[in-house]
Amino acid sequence: MTEPEPSSPDQVARFHLLVGEIVRTWATFESTLWLIVQALLGIDQFRARIIMASLPNLRAQREFIIRLGETYLDDSVLPHFRSLMRRIKKLAARRNALAHSPMSHENNETYRIFRDVFNIEQDGGLGFSSDKISNKEIAQLIAAIQTLQSDVIQFMVMVNGKIHSSARIHREPPKRPIL
């Protein structure tokens, strides 16, 4: 069995720069989510930013936005909205793994990310999993987050005039007869 080649200092430095860029790019993306809240609630940007800053984390912010969107968006834009919310969830998971998980250098271009996994059937209930990631994949993730931010902004232009002032429950006929 051969030993993996050691990581060069340049590659390790590039890896750390890319992880830092992921964190910065994600922070920039998160700072645009208030645009959705502003539009869906019909409030000014300052109030929308206060609301978003008051929610404890991205999961809570995303759930809040989903509930608003499902309640007030027109049916014609809901598929696009749901797609954006799924992309946010997927990219957030990758970003969080890079920002918060222990890692090791496998070789010049590959790193291993270790994650805690809660498994009820396992003694103690906690194990770990690991994934490999390369500098190229991290750079692609940065580009995907930037594209997502652009798509969210374009979506906000697209929904102009497609946000209802009353909740879906008040706009739709009852699903079953009222007795």
Per-residue pLDDT of 91-101, as tens digits, reads 999 998 888 88
In this predicted structure, the answer to whether residue 171 has a pLDDT above a threshold of 60 is: yes
Which runs of consecutive H residues, i.e. helices, occur in 73-158?
78-100, 135-158
Residue 108 and residue 32 in contact, taking contact as beta carbons nearer than 8 Å: no
The pLDDT mean for the chain works out to 87
* DSSP3 helix / strand / coil % (the chain, rounded to 5): 60, 15, 25
Amino acid code (one letter) for 176: R
> Residue 128 — very low, low, confident or very high, per pLDDT cuts 50/70/90?
confident
Domain segments of the chain as ranges: 9-96+136-171
The DSSP bridge partners found for residue 133 are: 111
In this predicted structure, the answer to whether residue 90 has a pLDDT above a threshold of 90 is: yes
pLDDT, greater one: 112 or 6: 112
Phi and psi at 126, nearest 5°, equal -135, 130
In this predicted structure, the answer to whether residue 111 has a pLDDT above a threshold of 90 is: no
In this predicted structure, the answer to whether residue 1 has a pLDDT above a threshold of 60 is: no
In this predicted structure, the answer to whether residue 3 has a pLDDT above a threshold of 60 is: no
Q: What is the pTM of this model?
A: 0.82
Instruction: Name the residue among 35, 32, 37 with its Cα closest to residue 64.
Output: 37
